Structure formats: structure tokens, C-alpha cells
Amino acid sequence: MAAVCDACRSMNLRVGIDTVAVAAVREALAAHGDRYLERVYTAREIADCAGAEGPDPERLAARFAAKEAALKALRAGDGGVPWSAVEVRREPGGHTEMALSGPAAALAERAGISGLAVSLTHEAGLASAVVVAAVLEESARRTDTGSNAPESL
């Protein structure tokens, strides 16, 4: 039987996934320009997506997919979380990290989410993202049951 470490045993995972058509992002840029960018993406994301001819629709589409995937992992439901509250950051070396703010950060805190991991891809006109959230077991139990059980049982 495989051994399970204590840290793994005390953690639940949530996953979210989403796909966006790059053409839809290109269309939104053409129709709404900077208003689209400013309502959906953070300044850092816009900078990360800069290309020779303006923001790269493929990179933007991947980030939108990541935002939606994160909202699924957070189980945001009908909570009124602005897209800019979920940020994808390209780090030195090329990998991406997620940062939450405002209502998204509050959701994560209430759910006991200790971290998010994200992976992006784009191919053949589609961009996709997968987000995995690590949830501490006690927090997951409280979220699932809605109870006010004490931390230690």
C-alpha cells in the first residue's frame, strides 16, 4: 500500500477548467478596445500580453480561460466577482502564477484555499486553462456542510 504523507491527507483539491475561442477575444478587442481590456484584465496582464501589434489575443484568451477556471475552482457561483480580481502573472522563467484580490481573495479565504496552481495552453484557435486549488481539510468540511464546527474535533 502506498504511503500518504500527512500534508496530503489534510488537503482537498478543487479543479476548474475553461476554454475560450481566440476569435472571440479578437472580436472583443475590435469592438470595445481599451474598455474590454480594462474591465477584464489587470495592468500586469495587459503588459504580459503585449505583442508587436498590441495585446496578443491568444495570450489574452488563455488568461480569460484561467480567470473562469479559477472562478470554478473557487465555486464563485453567482457571487459578482470581477474578472480583474483574478490575475495571471507570468513569472521570470516563463511559468505562470495566480494572484487573487477583492471578492476573489475573500472567497478563497472563506473556503480555506491555501493556493492556486494554473496551467495555460493555446492551439488551433482555442485557449484553455486548468486551475487547481488546495483546500485545507477543516475548511473544506466547513464549506461543504455549512456548519460552524470548531477547528479541532
- From 38, 34, 88, select the one nearest 63 (Cα to Cα): 88
* Residue 113 CB partners (closer than 8 Å, separation 6+): 14, 73, 74, 133, 134, 135, 139
Identity of the residue, 101 or 114, whose beta carbon is nearer to another protein in the bound complex? 101
| Contact call for residues 120 and 88 (beta carbons, < 8 A) | yes
Neighbouring C-alpha atoms within 13 Å toward the C-beta of 100: 26
Please report whether residue 88 would count as binding another protein according to CB under 8 A: no
| Contact call for residues 74 and 113 (beta carbons, < 8 A) | yes
The stretch among 21-29, 113-121, 132-140, 143-151 that binds another protein (CB under 8 A) is: 21-29
- Give the chain's radius of gyration (CA, Å): 17
Please report whether residue 68 would count as binding another protein according to CB under 8 A: yes
Please report whether residue 25 would count as binding another protein according to CB under 8 A: yes
Name which position in 5, 80, 151, 153 contacts another protein (CB under 8 A).
80
Please report whether residue 140 would count as binding another protein according to CB under 8 A: no
Name which position in 20, 49, 86, 116 contacts another protein (CB under 8 A).
20
Please report whether residue 75 would count as binding another protein according to CB under 8 A: no
- Residues in contact with another protein by the rule CB under 8 A: 18, 20-21, 24-25, 27-28, 31-32, 35-36, 39-40, 61, 64, 68, 77-83, 102-103
